[in-house]
């Protein structure tokens, strides 16, 4: 069954014709409209010709190529449109139009809170389709997206909302979007959701607030998005993790017809203490696939496939970093990637800088052993130096601290860093000893230590000097 049967192709073409006219000064011809309608319905040129009365050769050679070139310039946003991709492009335009409405997405679905606006979106089809299936086919009450800063978790969550509502209009009564600020409490979040929904409550206890929200999730079919759950994290306070775990238990166990979509920089078990049987459907959002990452750079008019691939590798296909570096290369180097690379500098985006400040801050998310590991990797690995073996890391940290360090504590600390995507794992085969390194942006942050959050904690001016020496591989 066609998921998009409720969409009116005539209205879509009417809107498209307006955009084409604005771009070219000409309206779509009848032959061009016939091809677009055929492509929308998955027809080949022979079928389009049979249904429209035009000659197949004329449509394929005279009309089609010019149409795709024109549409690429008018609505492609720097991406080449083809017959096979035009339907997806048109769907993106439809979704964007729906999102620009203030009081609804599709049909009667209401929006509460500030749903992010997506101008451009790249890749992530596999993750989005998986999570949609968990919601639609397996009736999961909660799906959980986690990954490092800048990977696009918020946009993926927004995209899931778009897809669900576009494919099944009126299937949800409302969308409730709540962005969680760093340092928030559970009481803050519950109270803000109640305020977003414009509900009244007399009893201010946490239980009463949660019950009121759960009543809404039972009474109406809602999509509740909790964006940035790491804002609740208090890693060292076990009682807070239990409280957060109890919140999730209620949200997932209670019988309701709604779904909660959560984004976070941390895995749920590092924020909340909860039974493993209650854990939601998980997806880790990492760097983009190469083709999607290339689209970002091509849209920014960066040239040279080899050079673009080098940028993608250095910045680990992180979309926010690629957007930043592409803009800076255009602004300061006239789009010359090679000239930028010659200076061997590494850029850090604002959201990654903020994430690392939160990790390394005085009351941050990293303990002392985790910080020691990060510092060790920053000083002893680079793009030119090989990854550091686990046994070598132990020796370096022991020698530096002039004391024994618990191996089990080291293992626990490294596993946490792995889960948070703060360190990179290198192991050619299961029989090889595992080695570790850092991505360049994180390594630069540690060596530069912009807010003096790192070196001062280890009470060693020699460490600072060693760090600056190591930074010869990464210039400020």
Instruction: Count the alpha carbons within 13 Å of 133 in the hemisphere toward its beta carbon.
Output: 8
Q: How far apart are CA 115 and CA 178, in angstroms?
A: 9
Token digits of residue 161: 């909302």
Contact 265, 223 (CB under 8 A): no
Q: Are strands 435-437 and 388-389 parallel, antiparallel or unpaired?
A: antiparallel
Give the pLDDT confidence score for residue 476 in this predicted structure. 42
| Residue of 383, 376, 386 lying closest to 435 (CA atoms) | 386
Q: How far apart are CA 224 and CA 292, in angstroms?
A: 28
Token digits of residue 201: 């409550």
Contact 39, 46 (CB under 8 A): no
Q: How far apart are CA 209 and CA 201, in angstroms?
A: 7
Average pLDDT along the chain: 85
| Residue of 308, 312, 320, 317 lying closest to 349 (CA atoms) | 320
Q: How far apart are CA 426 and CA 429, in angstroms?
A: 9
Q: How far apart are CA 326 and CA 304, in angstroms?
A: 13
Q: How far apart are CA 67 and CA 86, in angstroms?
A: 11
Task: Give Cβ neighbours of residue 185 (< 8 Å, ≥ 6 apart).
Answer: 232
CA angle 310, 384, 431 (to 5 degrees): 95
Task: Give Cβ neighbours of residue 156 (< 8 Å, ≥ 6 apart).
Answer: 124, 127, 128, 145, 263, 285
Give the pLDDT confidence score for residue 400 in this predicted structure. 85
CA dist 26 → 20, 57, 78, 86 (Å): 7, 23, 20, 19
| Residue of 284, 260, 244 lying closest to 418 (CA atoms) | 284
CA dist 255 → 31, 150, 214, 259, 281 (Å): 53, 34, 9, 11, 17
The 10 Å CB-count burial string (b at 16+, else e) for 384-406 is eeebbeeeebbebbeebeeeeee
**Residues in the chain with pLDDT < 70?**
1-7, 77-78, 95-107, 119, 235-236, 275-279, 362, 456-476
Contact 225, 177 (CB under 8 A): yes
The model carries a pTM of 0.76
């Amino acid at each position: 069954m066609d998921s998009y049967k409720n969409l009116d192709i005539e209205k879509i073409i009417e809107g498209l014709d307006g955009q084409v006219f604005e771009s070219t000064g000409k309206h779509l011809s009848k032959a061009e409209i016939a091809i677009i309608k055929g492509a929308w319905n998955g027809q080949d040129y022979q079928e389009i010709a049979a249904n429209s009365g035009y000659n197949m050769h004329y449509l394929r050679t005279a009309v089609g190529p010019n149409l795709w070139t024109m549409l690429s310039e008018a609505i492609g946003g720097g991406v080449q449109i083809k017959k096979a991709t035009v339907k997806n492009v048109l769907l993106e335009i439809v979704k964007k139009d729906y999102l620009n409405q203030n009081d609804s997405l599709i049909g009667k679905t209401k929006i509460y809170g500030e749903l992010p606006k997506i101008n451009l979106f790249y890749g992530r089809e596999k993750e989005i389709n998986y999570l949609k299936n968990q919601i639609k086919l397996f009736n999961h009450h909660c799906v959980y997206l986690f990954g490092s800063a800048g990977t696009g978790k918020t946009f993926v969550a927004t995209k899931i909302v778009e897809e669900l509502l576009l494919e099944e209009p009126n299937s949800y009564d409302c969308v409730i979007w709540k962005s969680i600020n760093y340092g928030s409490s559970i009481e803050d979040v519950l109270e803000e959701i109640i305020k977003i929904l414009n509900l009244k409550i007399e009893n201010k206890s946490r239980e009463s607030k949660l019950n009121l929200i759960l009543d809404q999730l039972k009474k109406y079919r809602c999509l509740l998005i909790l964006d940035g759950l790491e804002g609740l994290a208090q890693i060292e306070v076990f009682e807070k993790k239990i409280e957060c775990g109890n919140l999730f238990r209620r949200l997932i166990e209670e019988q309701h017809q709604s779904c909660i979509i959560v984004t976070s920089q941390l895995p749920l078990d590092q924020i909340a203490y909860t039974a493993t049987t209650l854990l939601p459907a998980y997806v880790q959002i990492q760097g983009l696939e190469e083709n999607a990452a290339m689209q970002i750079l091509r849209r920014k008019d960066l040239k040279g496939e080899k050079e673009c691939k080098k940028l993608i590798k250095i910045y680990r296909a992180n979309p926010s970093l690629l957007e930043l570096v592409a803009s800076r290369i255009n602004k300061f180097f006239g789009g010359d990637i090679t000239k930028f690379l010659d200076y061997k500098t590494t850029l850090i985006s604002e959201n990654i800088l903020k994430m690392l400040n939160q990790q390394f801050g005085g009351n941050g998310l990293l303990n002392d052993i985790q910080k020691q590991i990060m510092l060790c990797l920053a000083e002893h690995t680079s793009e030119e130096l090989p990854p550091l073996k686990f046994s070598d890391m132990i020796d370096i940290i022991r020698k530096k601290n002039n004391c024994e360090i618990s191996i089990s504590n080291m293992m626990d600390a490294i596993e946490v860093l792995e889960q948070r995507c703060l360190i990179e794992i290198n192991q050619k085969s299961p029989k090889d000893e595992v080695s570790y390194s850092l991505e360049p942006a994180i390594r630069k942050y540690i060596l530069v230590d912009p807010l003096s959050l790192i070196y001062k904690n280890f009470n060693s001016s020699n460490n600072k000097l060693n760090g600056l020496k190591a930074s010869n591989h990464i210039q400020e």
